[in-house]
Amino acid sequence: MKRRNVIFSALAVTLSATMALAGCGGSGSSNSSNQTLKVFYQKTDGFKAFDIIAQKQKAVFEKAHPGVKVELQPVSAQESDYKTKLSLAQRSSETAPDVIYQDSDSLQADVDAGYLLNMQKYVDKWEDWKQFTPTAKNIGKGKDGFYGVPISTDTRVIWYNRQIFQKAGIAVPWQPKNWDEILQAARTIKKNVPGVIPMNMFVGTAVGEGTTMQSFDELLWGTGLGDNALSDRKTGKWVVGSKGFSDSLKFLKTIYDEKLTPEASEEFDPNIGTKISTELLPQGKMAMTVDGSWMPQTWVTKGSAGEWPQAREVMGIANFPTQHGQKPGFTTAAGGWNISISAKSQKPDLAFDFIKLLTSKESTIEFLTSSGNSTVRKDVAEDARYKNINPFMEDLSTSIQYAHFRPTVAEYTKISSEIQKATEKIATGTSAEEAAKAYDEAVIDIAGKDMTVTEK
């Protein structure tokens, strides 16, 4: 009996020793969490902006708050994977980061889930808050207060290669007045400049929110219902069965059926956006694409994979037109990213202090210099350094007046993924009617019959 105990305790000791070792192996073990501020953000080869300011402000913050450690948790994933990872992390109070870098599209869903902290009392006392434009503040607004401090906003435009357009015999500067003129230009390029992909508009789930924001929304908000095409802004009801929705799908169907775009297989690669900005456009293999205002950033960044000093001369910008040219003539989807505090954070005061550093004027300029997004701060907008971030800044600034924002409700992300699925079906050969019907069913399923409205 006694000997058995000896063996047993030996076993227990070894086991607990290995367990302890295991704990040490993962450096950021739980016992140190009291004085650790965890910061969760995305970092990829194409997006290092947040990492740059986080590294810098970590040093500043740790100096100002002795004994507090800032633990940076950069997630190396493309956008849609980053969002999944963030949701996974937020669900559990053990892993919920204190400071979160987040797309505003999921703000309300996360508020409803109880993941985010209402920052109203912090921003009220914050001197800098008045520097944020009212539109910008909306980016971080939930149903009952502010849940995020916006750091950037963005719009979408058509980026086109002037040289290819000229070669195809299209006059530049070019500005289409309606959808047909886009099609005409693309067809002309296909005919006159063989070997060049005429255009790109994202489809499918691989690009995630990029498909909704950089492609479908530009179309949808330019149809008959305008700003109410996705959901009725007053009642919050989701629109189903609308002509605008199926027309938007039909437009995508046309460009895919006529092979005016990259192969659908390339479109379903999550890295297609990077490929277009760093390869296809600089190498003159694509004539135009609809993409975000941050595009030039990779071209002006020295030493980046997509560095392209001639971009200013080659590339032109056009606003995306409404379907038939109806008022106000153009559309763009505007979004933005926030920095939020987890509702589960044990040290929200410290977290907000860190957010103040991250979103300060200087830090914002540094962030935007690397990311190429547009500012949400008045003082930054007036700063010469901001205006000179890249040579396109001025042209781009016209698009914001046509901005449409995404509905800030919890269902948005789910409905957005239904849009992505519908476009994926289009590119794989399903008819627009069928894809629209499946979308309608899914929306009714998600939002409930009484939260949808049928429009013609």
Partner 1 sequence: MSDITTNAVTNTALNQPLSARNHKKASARLQTPTSPRHGVSAFFAYAVLILVFICFIVPMLWLFLAAFDKNASFQTKIPKQWTLGNFSTILNTQTTFRPMWNSAILAFVATFIVITFAVLAAYPLSRYQSRFNKPFLYTVLFGTCLPMTCLMVPVYSLFVTFHLIDSIIGTILFLAASSLPMAIWMTKNYMDSVPMSLEEAAWVDGASMMQTLGKIVVPLMKPGLAAVSIFVLMGTWGNFFVPYMILISPSKQPASVSIYSFFGQNGLIAYGQLAAFSLLYSAPVVLLYALSNHVLGTYSLAGGIKG
Partner 2 sequence: MREFSKRYWPTIPGIILMAAFMLGPVIWAFYGSLTNVSLTGPRAQNPDFIGLKNYSHLFTDPAFPKSIWLTIVFVLLSAVVAQNLLGLLLAVLLERSNKIIGRAVSTTVVAAWVMPELVSAFACYAFFSKAGTMNQILGVFGLHEIEWLFAFPMASVILANIWRGTAYSMMNYQAAIGEVDHSLTEAAVVDGANSWQVFAHITVPVIKQTIVTNMMLITLQTMSAFTLIFVMTAGGPGTKSMTLPVFAYKVAFKYGDIGYGCAIAVVMLVIGAIFGVIYIRSMKNEKGLSNE
204 binds partner 2 (CB under 8 A): yes
Contact with partner 2 (CB under 8 A): which of 73, 118, 175, 205?
205
79 binds partner 2 (CB under 8 A): no
Applying the rule CB under 8 A, the residues between 227 and 286 that interact with partner 1 are 269-271, 275
Q: Is 262 exposed, middle or buried (0-12, 13-18, 19+ CB in 10 A)?
A: buried
In contact, 211 and 423? CB cutoff 8 Å:
yes
Question: Cα(157)–Cα(317) distance, rounded to whole angstroms?
Answer: 7
Q: How many CB atoms lie within 10 A of CB 249?
A: 27
Backbone angles phi, psi at 343, to 5 degrees: -65, -20
Which of partner 2, partner 1, none does residue 1 bind to, with CB < 5 to 8 Å depending on kind?
A: partner 1
For residues 109 and 357, which CB has a smaller minimum distance to partner 2 in the complex? 109
Give the contact letters, 374-413, x = binds to partner 2 (CB under 8 A), - = no.
------------------------------------xx-x
Nearer to partner 1, 26 or 195 (CB): 26
- The DSSP line for 244-306 is HHHHHHHHHHHHHHTT-SS-HHHHTSTTHHHHIIIIITTTT-EEEEEEETTTHHHHHSTTSTT
* From the list partner 2, partner 1, none, partner contacted by residue 326 (C-beta under 5 to 8 A by kind): none
Give the Cα separation of 367 and 56 in Å (integer). Answer: 11
Nearer to partner 2, 364 or 452 (CB): 452
From the list 336, 346, 359, 344, the residue with the least C-alpha distance to 123 is 359
Question: What is the Cα–Cα distance from 415 to 75, expressed in whole angstroms?
Answer: 25
Shorter beta-carbon distance to partner 1: residue 64 or 88: 88
- By beta-carbon proximity to partner 2, the closer residue of 206 and 317 is 206
Q: Does 278 bind partner 2 (CB under 8 A)?
A: no
Q: Which does 171 bind (CB under 5 to 8 A by kind): partner 2, partner 1, none?
A: none
Please choose which of partner 1, partner 2, none residue 133 contacts, taking the beta carbon within 5 to 8 angstroms, the exact cut-off set by kind.
none
**346 contacts partner 1 (rule: CB under 8 A):** no
Q: Which residue, among 13, 451, 3, has the nearest Cα to 232 in the 3D structure?
A: 451
One residue of 95, 118, 135, 205 binding partner 1 per CB under 8 A: 95
Per-residue burial over 23-37, b = 16 or more CB atoms within 10 Å of its CB, e = otherwise: eeeeeeeeeebeebb
Classify residue 31 by its DSSP letter. Answer: G
Q: Which is nearer to partner 1, 241 or 270 (CB)?
A: 270
Kindly state the number of chain residues that form the binding site for partner 1, as judged by CB under 8 A: 40
Task: Check residue 8 for interaction with partner 1 (CB under 8 A).
Answer: yes
Place of tokens 């009801």: 237
**Helix 412-427 with 243-257: angle, nearest 10 deg:** 40
Binds 401: which of partner 1, partner 2, none (CB < 5-8 Å by kind) = none
Binding-site residue total for partner 2 (CB under 8 A)? 30
Closer to partner 1 at the Cβ: 87 or 430? 87
Of how many residues is the chain composed? Answer: 456
**Rounded to 5 degrees, what angle do the CA atoms 332, 337, 340 make?**
150
Nearest to partner 2 of 127, 144 (CB atom):
144
Rounded distance, CA 163 to CA 316, Å? 10
Partner whose footprint covers residue 305, from partner 2, partner 1, none (CB < 5 to 8 Å by kind): partner 1
Judged by the rule CB under 8 A, the positions of this chain that interact with partner 2 are: 80, 84, 87-88, 90-91, 106, 109-110, 112-115, 204-206, 263-265, 268, 410-411, 413-414, 417, 424-425, 428, 438, 445
Residues that bind partner 1 (CB under 8 A): 1, 3-4, 7-8, 11, 14-15, 18-19, 21-23, 25-28, 30, 44-45, 73-78, 81, 85, 88-89, 91-95, 269-271, 275, 305
